[in-house]
Every structure is written in C-alpha cells, then in structure tokens.
Amino acid sequence: MKKYLAFLVILFLVFACKKVKFSPEGPTDVRVRNLSDLTLYEVIVNTSGGIDTLGDIGPGSVSDYYRFDKAFPKAEIWAIINSEKFYTGPVNYTYMQYLGQDKITYEVYISSMSDKTLTIFNVIHEEPISP
C-alpha cells in the first residue's frame, strides 16, 4: 500500500509542476534614433535576425520600424556620414538573450569621428507587438 501511495504522490508531483515558458525569440520591430547632430545616411542594421536598410535619419530623429526575425541588445549598425562609412563594430551574439516580440529603439551616437565609430547608447523597449 505504501508503494502505491508513494507512486501516486510522485505522479501527482510530476503533473502538478508547471513548465517554464520561455519568451519567443521574435519577431522584433526595430527602429534607430539618431542622437548625434549629423544626419546618418543609408543606415543599415544587422540584428542577427536579418539585415535591412532603414534609410536616412536626421539629427534627433527616428527611423520607421522594420521587422526582424530576432533581435538582441546589441546590433551591427552602419551609416554614411560626411561621405564616410561609420560602423558600430562586430557583435558576438553568443549568450545574449533575445529581445522578444517587442517594438524597440536603438539609440545611436557617433562615439569617434576619427575612428568612424558608432555606439548604441541605449535600447528602449517601446511596447509589445500586437497580433
């Protein structure tokens, strides 16, 4: 009898446990805000979930949202400024968590004119993507 009771308790515990639901990896709607005082031309974003051209972004302005399969807190961003190509640098996406099904904004500024370097200052989670 004790064996049956122990078996029932174990069976109850197995079925009573809730499975942890991980957030899905995407899609993520991404836009870029230009924090610099120069226009960013032909902005290209690579989120490891796709590459897309966002167009030109004026000083203090934001681009439209573009949908990516997945996005991370860091991204590779290219832009042309004063006829020269600026870049955030390569990103290692290993061990990064997905941003999930959100609308996000990468805030970007020019960190070095001489090195032609862009930097992501902040990632803002605007709102969840509505179905």
CA atoms within 13 A on the CB side of 91: 21
Contact assessment for residue 49 and residue 69, using Cβ atoms and an 8 Å cutoff: yes
| Alpha carbon distance 39, 19 (integer Å) | 48
Question: Residue 4: which pLDDT band, with cuts at 50, 70 and 90?
Answer: low
For residue range 10-68, list pLDDT tens digits in order: 766 666 665 544 457 889 999 999 999 999 999 999 999 889 999 999 999 999 999 99
For residue range 108-120, list pLDDT tens digits in order: 999 999 999 999 9
Query: For every residue of the chain, which 3-state class applies, written as one string?
Result: CHHHHHHHHHHHHHHHCCCCCCCCCCCEEEEEEECCCCCEEEEEEECCCCEEEEEEECCCCECCCEEECCCCCCCEEEEEECCEEEECCCCCCCCCCCCCCEEEEEEEEEEECCCCEEEEEEEEEEEECCC
pLDDT score of 7: 66
Pairwise pLDDT comparison (20 vs 107), residue with the higher score: 107
Q: Which CATH class is domain 22-128?
A: mainly beta
pLDDT score of 22: 47
Q: Which residue has the tokens 């004119």?
A: 113
Read off the pTM: 0.80
